[in-house]
Amino acid sequence: MARLVLVGLPGAGKSTLAPLLADQWGVACLDTDDVVREMTGRGVADWIRDAGEDAFREVEADALERALVDDVVVSTGGGIVTSERSRRSLESALVLWLDAPLDLLARRIDGGDRPLVADDPRVRLAELNRERRPLYARVATWTLSSEPRPENLVTRARALVEDPVSIHSVRLAERSYDVVVARGARHRLAGLLARLAPRARRVAFITTPTLREQPWWDLEVGLDPVVIDVPDGESAKSLATLEMVCERLARAGLSRDDVVVSVGGGAVCDLAGFAAAVYLRGVRVVHVATTLLAQVDAAIGGKTAVDIPAGKNLVGAFHQPLGVLCDLEVLETLPEREWRSGWGEVVKCVLLTGARDASPGDVRDLVNLSVALKARIVSADEREGGERALLNYGHTLAHAIEALALERDVDELRHGEAVAVGLAFATRLSTRLGRVDASRISEVDALLSRFGLSSRLGEFSTERVLEFMARDKKAHHDLTFVLDGPRGVEVVPEVDVDVVRDTLETMKGES
Ligand SMILES: NC(=O)c1ccc[n+]([C@@H]2O[C@H](COP(=O)([O-])OP(=O)(O)OC[C@H]3O[C@@H](n4cnc5c(N)ncnc54)[C@H](O)[C@@H]3O)[C@@H](O)[C@H]2O)c1
């Protein structure tokens, strides 16, 4: 822990939290107000009354510089962020913005000697809140909503600050961005927006009512957000929902400087990303990915789309986000089936990277492995002209059976479950073509089963599967597959349809 600075309005609990945290970490604790008194012999209230606020902000900036030694927790005055000098100093520290409801703040500051909120604390606090929120957001590494019990606050602040953070870069010249993987990554949203979209005046969250009821829904952006609810799951990805979202964005007055934030799984990412790609011919988007599948795949790489009756993802655009936040904490509420679906894509990445001893207990490592792989491949091949096609490993069959399953029952097959079957099939096809040893089949099946995934191909008509596979938009020539082989996984075009048919039939016959 290097330097942690707590910022927030008066009464947010900074001076209570700072010594508790410093105590737990065994580091120094300083309060800029105390440093001012020590340096000048005068307290904050006297400074403001006698010399005015501007003069005080200058000494306060001196005090902050002095306080920012190594290994320290610093509690600051509520207005420190109004000084440009202090904001510059804060760039060398980790900054935790303690946010709190105005009622709680007003109760806490009652009776204190605080000249800036003396007259009518509630009204004054509301004014300060409006003025300073964008400034807190600008300096914040994390935002944490304060609460009455300090012990809870300490636990949550520690979890945030102590959690390892992995930052993966997607490198695409001026469209480069970071994918942050950490518990509590969502608390970085306000800082990210303030840094990367400083001119934004409005932020539109696109999400679902189900997700807004989750215990982790405490997103703070430092600006007044517009919240647009869309239907849950795949039904969000329709042209009708897209129109509704664009209409709401327009009515909210979202401009080219403003930002769309998707909070959800792959369906919300795809829809919100596409809305951001086309609204006003393109506004910026940040993805807060809440399913495993979205974290390891859908939120990264800029592919956005909606479905039309002729097929899934047929109308869309490439639109890279401004950033992606993969919060491991929000996965705690993910239903089991969605975990399984995510694992399908993760196992694909495990097979592509050769990390075959992976197990589902290693969530953090596996998210990082998958994100790193996708970030590297997208950086090398944004538009799927080459290497990016490898990410379709298992997908030729998966897309076909997903489409066929959808004709029968919306819920029959989740994307990752279909990918798992597709990986099992691709392995069988590789052995049939003599590209890999037959022992690979049991290896891949065992890996899938370790992640709760089935390698069984359900009851699908072989001819219809073949028909869908030939139609797959990723097939450049009839029946192109991504297959393992002596040189590793690669794109294999023009695979003999009879061999494919035979492999499907044999797989269907497996118990
Ligand atoms: N753009 C791409 O590159 C890309 C890649 C892969 C998949 N996709 C798309 O992603 C979509 C599938 O995404 P998905 O698997 O994330 O499904 P999803 O977005 O439909 O979400 C699945 C369910 O999980 C719920 N949920 C989400 N986060 C939760 C949380 N933290 N706690 C509790 N419930 C939560 C949702 O409400 C929903 O009911 C498909 O439409 C697919 O086409 C896109």
CATH code for the domain of 495: 1.20.1090.10
Provide the pLDDT confidence category of residue 109 given band limits of 50, 70 and 90.
confident
Range 46-70 average pLDDT: 94
pLDDT top residue among 119 and 329 = 329
**CA 292 to CA 299: how far, in whole Å?**
10
Q: Do 198 and 147 belong to one domain?
A: no
Whether the predicted pLDDT of 473 surpasses 60: no
Determine which residue's CA is closest to atom 5 belonging to ligand 1: 298
The answer as to whether 357 is a domain residue is no
How far, in Å, from the CA of 330 to the mean position of ligand 1?
13
Domain termination site, one of 127, 162, 197: 162
Domain termination site, one of 145, 162, 179: 162
Looking at the DSSP bridge assignments, the partners of residue 99 are 145
The answer as to whether 376 is a domain residue is no
How far, in Å, from the CA of 43 to the mean position of ligand 1?
54
Instruction: Compute the CA torsion angle 425, 429, 435, 441 (nearest 10 deg).
Output: 40
Q: Is 290 close to ligand 1, i.e. is its CB under 6 Å away? A: yes
| Spatial CA neighbour of 454 closest among 370, 341, 346 | 341
Q: Do 126 and 202 belong to one domain?
A: no
How far, in Å, from the CA of 207 to the mean position of ligand 1?
11
Q: Is 234 close to ligand 1, i.e. is its CB under 6 Å away? A: yes
Q: What is the CATH number of the domain that holds 35?
A: 3.40.50.300
Strands lying side by side in the sheet with 259-264? 166-170, 177-182, 323-327, 284-289, 259-264, 203-207, 225-229
Determine which residue's CA is closest to atom 34 belonging to ligand 1: 334
Q: Do 315 and 401 belong to one domain?
A: no
**CA 305 to CA 315: how far, in whole Å?**
5
Q: What's the Cα-to-Cα distance from 403 to each of 101, 307, 418, 467, 504, rounded to whole Å?
A: 47, 12, 10, 11, 17
Whether the predicted pLDDT of 445 surpasses 90: yes
- The C-alpha angle 436, 376, 426, rounded to 5 degrees, equals 25
The answer as to whether 481 is a domain residue is yes
The answer as to whether 375 is a domain residue is no
Provide the pLDDT confidence category of residue 1 given band limits of 50, 70 and 90.
low
Range 228-257 average pLDDT: 97
Whether the predicted pLDDT of 360 surpasses 50: yes
Q: Is 273 close to ligand 1, i.e. is its CB under 6 Å away? A: no
Q: Do 13 and 135 belong to one domain?
A: yes
**CA 156 to CA 177: how far, in whole Å?**
27
Determine which residue's CA is closest to atom 30 belonging to ligand 1: 334
- The C-alpha angle 193, 197, 199, rounded to 5 degrees, equals 125
Average pLDDT over the chain reads 93
**CA 227 to CA 229: how far, in whole Å?**
6
Q: Do 326 and 397 belong to one domain?
A: no
How far, in Å, from the CA of 48 to the mean position of ligand 1?
53
- Ligand 1, residue 313: give the atom nearest the CA: 43
Q: Is 415 close to ligand 1, i.e. is its CB under 6 Å away? A: yes
How far, in Å, from the CA of 265 to the mean position of ligand 1?
3
pLDDT for residue 104: 81
The answer as to whether 356 is a domain residue is no
Cα 61 versus chain centre, distance: 34
Residue 394 per-residue DSSP state: T
Contact 145, 218 (CB under 8 A): yes
Q: Do 307 and 324 belong to one domain?
A: yes
pLDDT for residue 316: 97
Range 489-507 average pLDDT: 94
Q: Do 153 and 172 belong to one domain?
A: no
How far, in Å, from the CA of 293 to the mean position of ligand 1?
6
The answer as to whether 242 is a domain residue is yes
| Spatial CA neighbour of 83 closest among 105, 55, 51, 50 | 55
For ligand 1, mutation pick of 170, 212, 270 (most atoms within 8 Å of CB): 270
Q: Give percent helix, percent strand, percent coil of the chain, each to the nearest 5.
A: 55, 15, 30
User: Of 29-43, 141-155, 185-199, 411-425, which range is least confident?
Assistant: 141-155
Assigned token pair, 122: 């509630």
pLDDT for residue 118: 63
The answer as to whether 400 is a domain residue is yes
How far, in Å, from the CA of 341 to the mean position of ligand 1?
9
The letter for the amino acid at 228 is I
pLDDT for residue 339: 98
Q: Is 267 close to ligand 1, i.e. is its CB under 6 Å away? A: yes
| Spatial CA neighbour of 283 closest among 252, 319, 325 | 319
| Spatial CA neighbour of 128 closest among 238, 7, 209, 246 | 7
Question: Could you identify the residue written with the tokens 């403003």?
Answer: 258
Determine which residue's CA is closest to atom 4 belonging to ligand 1: 298
Determine which residue's CA is closest to atom 6 belonging to ligand 1: 298
Domain termination site, one of 276, 306, 334: 334
Strands lying side by side in the sheet with 94-99? 28-31, 72-75, 3-7, 94-99, 142-145
- Ligand 1, residue 289: give the atom nearest the CA: 28
- Ligand 1, residue 237: give the atom nearest the CA: 41
Whether the predicted pLDDT of 193 surpasses 60: yes
Range 188-197 average pLDDT: 94
Q: Do 330 and 226 belong to one domain?
A: yes
Provide the pLDDT confidence category of residue 365 given band limits of 50, 70 and 90.
very high
Q: Is 264 close to ligand 1, i.e. is its CB under 6 Å away? A: yes
Looking at the 3D structure of the chain, how many domains does it have? Answer: 3
pLDDT for residue 102: 83
pLDDT digits (tens, 9 = 90+) for 288-340: 999 999 999 999 999 999 999 888 899 999 999 999 999 999 999 999 999 99
Q: Do 423 and 457 belong to one domain?
A: yes
Range 442-471 average pLDDT: 93
pLDDT for residue 136: 95
Range 132-137 average pLDDT: 93
How far, in Å, from the CA of 369 to the mean position of ligand 1?
19
Q: Is 400 close to ligand 1, i.e. is its CB under 6 Å away? A: no
Q: Do 158 and 171 belong to one domain?
A: no
pLDDT for residue 312: 84
**CA 293 to CA 297: how far, in whole Å?**
6
Query: What range does the domain containing 151 cover?
Result: 3-162
Angle between helices 239-251 and 266-278 (to 10 degrees): 60
pLDDT for residue 510: 87
Whether the predicted pLDDT of 379 surpasses 70: yes
| Spatial CA neighbour of 471 closest among 310, 278, 326 | 310
How far, in Å, from the CA of 267 to the mean position of ligand 1?
5
How far, in Å, from the CA of 34 to the mean position of ligand 1?
50
Q: Do 151 and 206 belong to one domain?
A: no
Q: What is the CATH number of the domain that holds 306?
A: 3.40.50.1970
pLDDT for residue 280: 98
The answer as to whether 234 is a domain residue is yes
Whether the predicted pLDDT of 476 surpasses 50: no
Provide the pLDDT confidence category of residue 349 given band limits of 50, 70 and 90.
very high
User: Of 160-174, 210-224, 305-319, 473-487, which range is least confident?
Assistant: 473-487
Determine which residue's CA is closest to atom 13 belonging to ligand 1: 266
Conformation bin of residue 261: beta by default, left when phi > 0, alpha when psi is -120 to 50: beta
Question: Got the DSSP string for 412-475?
Answer: S--HHHHHHHHHHHHHHHHHHTTSS-THHHHHHHHHHHHTT------S--HHHHHHHHHH-TT-
Q: Is the pTM of this model over 0.85?
A: yes
Instruction: Compute the CA torsion angle 412, 418, 420, 425 (nearest 10 deg).
Output: 120
Residue 384 per-residue DSSP state: S
User: Of 26-40, 106-120, 256-270, which range is least confident?
Assistant: 106-120
pLDDT for residue 112: 62
Contact 307, 313 (CB under 8 A): yes
Q: How far apart are the first and last CA of the chain?
A: 55
pLDDT digits (tens, 9 = 90+) for 201-223: 999 999 999 999 999 998 888 88
Q: Do 122 and 226 belong to one domain?
A: no
Range 51-70 average pLDDT: 95
How far, in Å, from the CA of 313 to the mean position of ligand 1?
14
**CA 289 to CA 186: how far, in whole Å?**
9
